[in-house]
């Protein structure tokens, strides 16, 4: 389910800057929520930012397969 929710192979995430912003903006917003006294929303956005960082940056898009190699 998470692959369909946040798919690093989608053309929208082809640019590395878009992937970094998609992971960073929720973390920044979590900081805003914590500063404004809403720790519940802060934890929600921090978790979403961590998930986006893991899926988009750490795992990243699949590497292109060379010719003659079967795709999964």
Q: What integer is the mean pLDDT of 22-48? A: 96
Classify 68 in phi/psi space as left (phi over 0), alpha (psi -120 to 50) or beta: left
Does residue 20 lie in a domain region? Answer: no
Q: How confident is the model at residue 3 (pLDDT cuts 50, 70, 90)?
A: low
Does residue 38 lie in a domain region? Answer: yes
Does residue 40 lie in a domain region? Answer: yes
Could you give the 3-state DSSP secondary structure of residue 3? Answer: helix
Domain count, the chain: 1
Q: Quick one: pLDDT at residue 33? A: 97
Does residue 34 lie in a domain region? Answer: yes
Q: Which domain holds residue 36?
A: 30-60
Does residue 49 lie in a domain region? Answer: yes
* Rg of the Cα atoms in the chain: 15
Put simply, whether the predicted model's pTM sits higher than 0.85 gets the answer no
CA distances from 64 to 1, 30, 31, 46 (A): 22, 34, 36, 31
Q: What integer is the mean pLDDT of 30-56? A: 96
């Amino acid at each position: 389910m998470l692959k369909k929710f946040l798919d690093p192979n989608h053309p929208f995430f082809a640019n590395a800057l878009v992937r970094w912003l998609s992971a960073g903006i929720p973390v920044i917003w979590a900081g805003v929520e914590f500063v404004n006294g809403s720790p519940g929303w802060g934890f929600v956005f921090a978790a979403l930012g961590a998930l986006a960082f893991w899926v988009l940056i750490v795992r990243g898009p699949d590497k292109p397969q060379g010719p003659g190699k079967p795709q999964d």
